[in-house]
Amino acid sequence: MQSGMNPWSSNQTVDVDRLFTEFGIEPIGEVARRLPEVPPFIRRGVVVGHRDYQVVVDAIRNRTPFHVLTGFMPSGLPHLGHLMVMKEVVWHVQQGGNGYVAIADREAHAVRGMSWEKCREYGREYLKALYALGFRGTTYYQSRNEPLKDLAFEASTKVNFSELSAIYGFGPETSLGHAMSVATQVGDILFPQLDAGPAPTVVPVGLDQDPHIRLTRDVAHKLRMFTVEDRDDYVSVRSKNAPEEALEAVHRAFAGSKKYAGHVDITGQPHARVDDTVREIEIAHGGFGFYLPSSTYHIFMPGLQGGKMSSSVPESLFGFYEPEKSVRKKVMAALTGGRMTLEEQKRLGGEPDRCSVYLLNLFHMLEDDGELAELRRRCESGEITCGQCKKETLERVQAFLTDLRDKMDAVEHLADEV
Ligand code: SF4
């Protein structure tokens, strides 16, 4: 497991340490060690933090149900910058998770003014890439998912405009459609529990997405009828907006426990059992019984040119269907951690942690840890020149893209069924 050092924090658009200390994101290390198999994106320090991921780790270990989901806004074609989250979702599906992918066409339409036709055309490419990478599960377009719309409406009753302006900077000019697309995204995260039943749910996101996760957890909490609190020597169940019958059902379920109006103390009961029972009662009485969604947080791969990776900076990334000539040009022009002269490179070695070519290998192109370590050794010892290193990396990129495109072509029918 990589140390806590994060060599790329200077490239991040968000302050990693602040998110950890101020907003309570936990470092992933300890909880990840309990995974039966630690995936490369955690081993290599790409995924750095989490909220409540331990319940998902438990589900993986115990082979009990859990969900994993993400969403993509179809405002352009998928590219290198989307690959990490796709891999994280696919990995969780391979660990037994129920996979969900939302194509956020309502958001693309409301926020970017994309036509529905374009949303569909681009959305199809995201789905093809996901299926090609091994995703299996449920995929949908927001605009065509009726239960999601109802859930988003319920979610919207728990969010006010001051929260929206604090989180997203909404002002007097913001359209109501934009606000609705936020509610829809909250709905997306809770949708798997509506569709397939309450279960721990993990949402792999970039660190900048945490405000949205916090909002969704808050809404999930508000939509529940009861609050189950773990105290030192007892578990307490408090009602929030539960109907009388639901309250009575809780009292009946825990008969013999100390009780008083709207608040039940269940001395000596294990929290998990209480939570499950209360959840069942909530659902039976028309409530939601959600688990608060868990999240993992990845840092961002810098752009090939060394700055931010963004579709508005074409040289910072390549698309999955980009012509070979253009991919070659971008990889060969990438910013390296090489020295000014060949002589210096041989004497001092390169600086892989400052090199976008190395990071391209670390994030995506070298799956074998031994091969990655060997690349680092050859770089730091000055054994390899940056020119040679880029050439080798380009070959990997070309092989990766050829394979991905073949697979994308082969799964077109799956994307068309959505
Ligand atoms: Fe980067 Fe490779 Fe040059 Fe090292 S040798 S600085 S990894 S391009």
Atom of ligand 1 nearest to the CA of 380: 4
Q: Please give the Cα distance from 138 to 147 (Å, whole number).
A: 14
Backbone angles phi, psi at 204, to 5 degrees: -75, 125
305 CA from centroid of ligand 1 (Å): 14
Which residues, 6 or more positions from 209, have their beta carbon under 8 angstroms from its beta carbon? 295, 297
User: What averages of pLDDT result for each successive group of 10 residues across the chain (418 residues)?
Assistant: 36 62 85 94 94 96 97 92 96 98 92 90 95 96 94 94 88 88 95 95 92 94 90 84 90 83 81 90 92 94 90 90 95 92 88 94 95 96 94 97 95 83
Establish how many alpha carbons lie within 13 A of residue 376's alpha carbon, considering only the half-sphere containing its beta carbon: 12
**Nearest atom (ligand 1) to Cα of 378:** 5
Q: Does residue 337 line the site of ligand 1, with CB under 6 A?
A: yes
**Spatial contact of 187 and 147, defined as CB atoms under 8 Å apart:** no
Q: What is the pLDDT of residue 15?
A: 64
Q: Is the CB of 389 under 6 A from ligand 1?
A: yes
Residue type, 301: M
Model ipTM value: 0.99
67-72 and 98-103 beta bridge pairing: parallel
Domains of the chain: 12-223+292-298 (3.40.50.620), 226-285 (no CATH), 324-417 (1.10.240.10)
386 lines ligand 1 (CB under 6 A): yes
Report the distance separating Cα 318 and Cα 326, nearest Å: 8
How far apart CA 370 and CA 350 sit, in angstroms, is 19
pTM, two decimal places: 0.90
Q: Please report the pLDDT score of residue 86 as a whole number.
A: 97
**Centroid of ligand 1 to alpha carbon of 7 (angstroms):** 15
Report the C-alpha gap between 363 and 317 in whole angstroms: 13
